[in-house]
Amino acid sequence: MAAAPPSLHLVIFPYMAQGHTIPLLDISKAFAIRGLKVVIITTPSNASFIVSKTSKHPNISLSIIPFPRVPELPEGCENTADLPSMALLSTFVEATKKMKQPFEGVLIDMIAYGHSPICVISDFFLSWTLDSCHSFGIPRIVFHGMGALSMAICKSLTLLPLRTKPSLELDLIELPNLKLPFTLQKADIPEGLLDFDPNDHFARIIVETGEADINSWGVLVNSFEELEGDYVGAFESFYFNNAKAYCLGPFFLYNELKQEVKAEKVQMQSYSYIKWLEKQAGFDGRTVIYVSFGTQAHLSKDQLDEIAFGLEMAEHPFIWVVRSRTWAAPKGWKERVKEKGLVLHDWADQRSILSHPAIGGFLSHCGWNSMLESISMGVPLLAWPMLGVSEQELNAKFIVLGWGAGLMIPHRGNGGEKIMTVGRDVICNRVKELMGGEKGRKAREKAQALGRKARGAVEKCGSSDKKLDQLIDQLSNNKNGKS
């Protein structure tokens, strides 16, 4: 592992959403361990969470700048998790633009103290940071929180001639410069990407962020060569100035290799759900299915009820994180499943759950972070994409059809339309197949093989480990005026 000179500083500016922030906190530790001084930009209400994740690293510090007061947003709303409705997402993203002046103030202070950053790693939603970085001659590296393949698909779609764009959900899409491991249909594409509405505020934001994106110095990708190396070249082709995509992931596994993890594992043993999993592990390994759909998906009461009944019918032990505070389990259900099921309404450490030897499957919305964590732990997925505005459909197809490391919950009708409520029978049958069927066994073998590759990527001389050293060397040489 190459150690960086102590004089090197870099700035990381995460978007104020947990799924965007957590991976950047993970990679900040990898930079810090290599000797770089990392300054993380955040806002007052997000600071305590970031401190809780980084306080053991003396090379990581915070620079707190105010989040602007916007009439449309509730007072104190500084994270997308605090939005009363995702309809306010555009307003939230627009509000971040007012952070430009205090952000530039941080850069000015760093330069004045002789700590000019070798780069700024910025979330793609913070597109305005490109202008700031250009003003100070600092390379901007953009971070999306998505995989290389899904990003390449999304960028390819913007170049499709109007006459070739599909109209029906099951229409096939051909991307001439991208060889895909699955059949691509309109139903798989994030909403609004093909049907651009110039009057839609969020659509205009996506165009704006895309322009800043392709003009950045480079791209940070939470993935690894063995998983997505075949698509990196196609993805890079959309960028100007020979910008490179750096697959340095899985980010969270760098921390898994360090001594501090021992202390974290001791703390995790006190969690009630880990104690519950310990009891399950005593019967027969990998019998528990973990169920969680992230923080953004909002399921109806009917759908939550069907999940409850489906899990009960499958008769496999389960641990289910229910984000809805208003859902009340069907009458008598909790009593019937109390020996086999654990329902959590509060925050749970997903990584500690997925890494537990009792876990044999993950019913997931297929957000990129969740998918990457699952395969890194060798846990196969039962894929159920939820959010149409994200790339979850693409992630699900990639892991199920591309890698064979999971099964799919049938969630679309014969015409490709989204099924409003997936029935308990469907859920039951798929859980049984994943946890005890032949297809599930093969998916588990594939996931375990990917897990070995993921861990190997971040170990010494692994593909991601070497790429991280290469990135630091390039930025260091750039700062010193070398070619």
pLDDT tens digits, residue range 287-310? 999 999 987 778 999 999 999 999
Question: Which run of H or E residues covers position 143?
Answer: strand 140-143
Q: Is residue 2 part of a domain?
A: no
430/467 same-domain check? no
**What is the C-alpha to C-alpha distance for residues 206 and 125, in angstroms, rounded to an integer?**
8
Mean pLDDT for 402-417 is: 95
pLDDT value for 257: 47
Which domain CATH number covers 317? 3.40.50.2000
pLDDT value for 269: 60
Task: Specify whether 115 is catalytic.
Answer: no
280/368 same-domain check? yes
88 DSSP 8-state letter: G
Mean pLDDT for 338-355 is: 92
Domain of 184, in residue numbers: 9-255+460-479
Residue 257, judged by CB atoms within 10 A of its CB (0-12, 13-18, 19+), counts as middle
Q: DSSP H helical segments within 142-240, as ranges?
A: 148-157, 201-214, 225-236
Structural domains of the chain, count: 2
234/295 same-domain check? no
Active-site position among 9, 26, 57, 123? 123
Q: Is the pLDDT of residue 482 over 70?
A: no
239/296 same-domain check? no
Task: Specify whether 123 is catalytic.
Answer: yes
Mean pLDDT for 26-39 is: 95
Buried b (16+ CB within 10 A) or exposed e, 22-54: bbbbbbbbbbbbbbbbbbbbbbeebeeebeebb
Confidence at 9, pLDDT banded by 50, 70, 90:
very high
Q: Is residue 74 part of a domain?
A: yes
**What is the C-alpha to C-alpha distance for residues 132 and 10, in angstroms, rounded to an integer?**
15
Percent of the chain scoring above 90 in pLDDT: 77
Q: Is the pLDDT of residue 400 over 80?
A: yes
Mean pLDDT for 424-439 is: 97
Mean pLDDT for 181-192 is: 91
Average pLDDT value over all residues in the chain:
91
Give 413-429 pLDDT, tens digit per residue.
999 999 999 999 999 99
361/299 same-domain check? yes
- Which residues contact residue 61 at a Cβ distance below 8 angstroms, ignoring those fewer than 6 apart? 37, 38, 39, 40
244/318 same-domain check? no
Active-site position among 9, 20, 144, 356? 20
Phi-psi region of 242 (alpha: psi -120 to 50; beta: other; left: phi over 0): left
93/153 same-domain check? yes
Q: Is residue 1 part of a domain?
A: no
